[in-house]
Amino acid sequence: MPQKMERKTTVTVSLSISELEWLDSFAHSKGFNRSELVREWIYKTKKEADVKKNEEEQ
């Protein structure tokens, strides 16, 4: 069975100290740490992009 090619993307974001502090506070209020929150955001964004791509192909 052929394997699906997986595309890797690197995302770089620049945030100020106050923005990082807000992100940490927000993540903590949702029960996440910053890395987990960013990972969830990337997963959700990718999933939405995949759905949109599939709709456009049909």
Q: Would you say residue 21 lies in a domain?
A: no
- pLDDT of 51 strictly over 70: yes
Res. 22: pLDDT tops 80: yes
**pLDDT at position 2:** 63
pLDDT for res 1? 57
pLDDT score for 29: 92
Read off the tokens for 29.
């209020």
Overall domain count for the chain: 1
- Average pLDDT rounded to a whole number, residues 12-24: 87
Q: Is the pLDDT of residue 31 over 80?
A: yes
**Count of beta carbons in the 10 Å neighbourhood of residue 17:** 7
Range of the domain at 48: 34-58
Q: Helix, strand or coil for residue 36?
A: helix
Indicate whether 57 belongs to any domain.
yes
Domain contains 38: yes
pLDDT mean across residues, the chain? 83
